[in-house]
Structure 1
Amino acid sequence: MKLALFDDHRLGVVEDTADGGHVVDVTAALTWPHDPDPVTAGWWRRLCRDYGEIRERLAAAAAAGPRTPLADVRLRAPALNPSKIVACASNYADHVAEMHGVQERTLGGVESWMMRFDVFLKAPSSLSGPAEDIVLPEEVVAAGQEIHHESELVIVVGRGGTDIAEEEALDRVAGYTLGLDVTVRSAADRSRRKSYDTFSPLGPWITTADEITDPGGLEIRLDVNGEVRQDVHTRDLMTPVPRIVAYASSMMTLLPGDLIFTGAPPGVGPLTPGDRLHARISRIGDLRLNVREG
């Protein structure tokens, strides 16, 4: 099932078809109150936790409800106020290799510790949706610092937990979506240079985990102004999804609705005002985003 948030943070089930697709509003099928305020919307985190219990109700509502063309709604980021955004660093071998050149150019040398897999945190306020632009901070552009795109598979945590065993990890996942980890190339802490507003575009919706039983079987592609920048397969993740979930949960409790960016594929590159991005992940969907200076 593809679950979207749209308009006033309504819950929709998406049918993604060749004619542009439709969404069915299934908000009324929830068995708990729907709070449209994204700051206090605990209903969304509960959905991530209890999706298995309500799946059949949502499917029935989607089958019976009226369809609205996706072109007629405003898609929102398919996440509401997660307690945290966890992100993976150095998780594709070819990206690690290319970062030597990037760091030589932007930092004047290679930071060896940044070439090892690990996780870090991004501000939840950096989330933005399919209808929003990526906004490059004026002061960063004026300083001549490069701002790069990183298109990634994103895990949406379901039941979550602490010290999750790797063999149980996929059972704790609610679904998957597409995200861009936009980043300033500088000597600053990762969390600082990756947490500007709009630096975590997310969408267009979540494909639930019962439809993606193998998250290592997905293709990721990003075009910038029609030029292919990133084209990779998630089987190339050095630390695969189950191990990512287990590792992250060994140091922090993963809560329902938390997001985990799985790492940048090779092909990262600079963004400039006026750029048009087209990112997609097989079995999930597409994001088309514009870039502007703020």
Structure 2
Amino acid sequence: MKLALFDDARLGANRLGVLVEDGVVDVTASLPWPHDPDPLTAGWWRRLCRDFADVREELARAADKGPALDPADVRLRAPVLNPSKIVACASNYADHVAEMHGVQERTLGKVEHWMMNFDVFLKAPSSISGPQDDIVLPDAVVNAGQEIHHESELVIVIGTGGRDIPEADALAHVLGYTIGLDITVRSAADRSRRKSYDTFSPLGPCVVTADEVGDPSDLRIRLTVNGEERQHVHTATLITKVPAIVAYASSMMTLLPGDVIFTGAPPGVGPIERGDRLDTHITRIGAMRLNVR
């Protein structure tokens, strides 16, 4: 199932939809609990992540009945609401680790070797934007001449959550997957700071449930900038695979329903500038087109 959040002039904000072949079906009324459109208090979304198995059949019936809304008449939002945290993986593709030596030599004047090892860090949830929002480059960063890079990634959305989740059980705690861009300032600042500007975590176009995605190690990620291919990688080459990522992150922090985990930047990262058009695609999940301003 492809779960989407959308705004509609007639129906309201942050509606729950299911993407179908000819549009999006509003299934909000099929939820067995109240729908709160305010993203800051929208506990209904986190409850959906936690209890999706209980409502899946009813949502599927509603999606089958339709009618489908024309995509031109709705605005897709980021397919998550106010997660307690964004967890992001660093140095999770060997070829990206290799390319970062040159990137750091150019942008920092040296290589920070400790940054070449796999680990996780946090991004601000306020950096999340949607598939129809622009990426906004901060004036101060641009004026300082610092590079701002794209990183197109597979993103995990947590379902039931938990602490100290065994790797063997980890996939049972995943609601589904979406596409994310981890927009990054290349500077000496802390990772969390330079990756947490507003609009620096675009997500979309939907969350595809784990059963429909299948093996998360069998997906292809591709990103182009102004039509030129920059990133093209298979998730089989992740150093730390999705089950191990979930287990590792949960060994340090309780993962809550609706939390978001970026799985790591593939090789091919590079600078973006105002006026650029980014197209990113992951097999069995979908595609996003984002403009930079």
Is the structural similarity TM-score above 0.5?
A: yes
Matched, 1:157 2:158: yes
Structure 1: distance between partners of 2:165 and 2:201: 26
- In the alignment, structure 1 segments of 5+ residues that lack a partner are none
For residue 210 of structure 1, report the CA deviation from its aligned partner: 1.5
Q: 1:128 matched to which residue of 2?
A: 129
Q: Is the 8 A contact 2:92 2:239 kept in 1?
A: yes
Question: Within 5 Å, which residues of 2 pair with 1:93-108?
Answer: 93-108=94-109
Q: 1:226 matched to which residue of 2?
A: 227
Q: Deviations over 1:140-183 (max 9, x none)?
A: 00000000000000000000100000000000000000000000
Question: Within 5 Å, which residues of 2 pair with 1:189-228?
Answer: 189-228=190-229
SS in 1 for 2:52: helix
SS in 2 for 1:131: coil
Q: 1:247 matched to which residue of 2?
A: 248
For residue 281 of structure 1, report the CA deviation from its aligned partner: 0.5
Structure 1: distance between partners of 2:50 and 2:279: 31
Q: 2:18 matched to which residue of 1?
A: 13
For residue 72 of structure 1, report the CA deviation from its aligned partner: 1.8
The 10-residue stretch of structure 1 (230-239 or 63-72) with the greater mean CA deviation from structure 2 = 63-72
Q: 2:261 matched to which residue of 1?
A: 260
Structure 1: distance between partners of 2:72 and 2:259: 28
Q: 2:177 matched to which residue of 1?
A: 176
Q: Deviations over 1:227-283 (max 9, x none)?
A: 000000111100000000000000000000000000000000001000000001010
Structure 1: distance between partners of 2:40 and 2:272: 30
SS in 1 for 2:193: helix
Matched, 1:139 2:144: no
Structure 2: distance between partners of 1:162 and 1:113: 26
Q: Is the 8 A contact 2:213 2:285 kept in 1?
A: no
Q: Is the 8 A contact 2:225 2:278 kept in 1?
A: yes
Q: Is the 8 A contact 2:221 2:280 kept in 1?
A: yes
SS in 1 for 2:246: helix
Structure 2: distance between partners of 1:235 and 1:198: 28
For residue 65 of structure 1, report the CA deviation from its aligned partner: 2.2
For residue 131 of structure 1, report the CA deviation from its aligned partner: 1.2
Structure 2: distance between partners of 1:28 and 1:217: 35
For residue 109 of structure 1, report the CA deviation from its aligned partner: 0.5
Q: CA RMSD in A?
A: 0.6
Amino acid at match of 2:69: T
Q: 1:118 matched to which residue of 2?
A: 119
For residue 70 of structure 1, report the CA deviation from its aligned partner: 1.6
For residue 213 of structure 1, report the CA deviation from its aligned partner: 2.5
Structure 2: distance between partners of 1:65 and 1:288: 26
Instruction: Report the number of matched residues.
Output: 288
SS in 2 for 1:51: helix
Q: 1:53 matched to which residue of 2?
A: 54
Amino acid at match of 1:3: L
SS in 2 for 1:9: strand
Q: 2:30 matched to which residue of 1?
A: 29
Structure 1: distance between partners of 2:291 and 2:66: 33
Q: 2:86 matched to which residue of 1?
A: 85
Amino acid at match of 2:252: M
Amino acid at match of 2:19: V
Structure 1: distance between partners of 2:146 and 2:15: 38
Structure 1: distance between partners of 2:264 and 2:40: 27
Amino acid at match of 1:49: R
Q: State the identity as a percent.
A: 76
Q: 1:67 matched to which residue of 2?
A: 68
Question: Within 5 Å, which residues of 2 pair with 1:272-291?
Answer: 272-291=273-292
Structure 2: distance between partners of 1:39 and 1:281: 29
- In the alignment, structure 2 segments of 5+ residues that lack a partner are 8-12
Structure 2: distance between partners of 1:218 and 1:110: 31
Q: Deviations over 1:62-100 (max 9, x none)?
A: 111211122221000000000000000000000000000
Structure 1: distance between partners of 2:161 and 2:265: 23
Give the alignment's TM-score, normalised by structure 2: 0.98
Q: 1:44 matched to which residue of 2?
A: 45
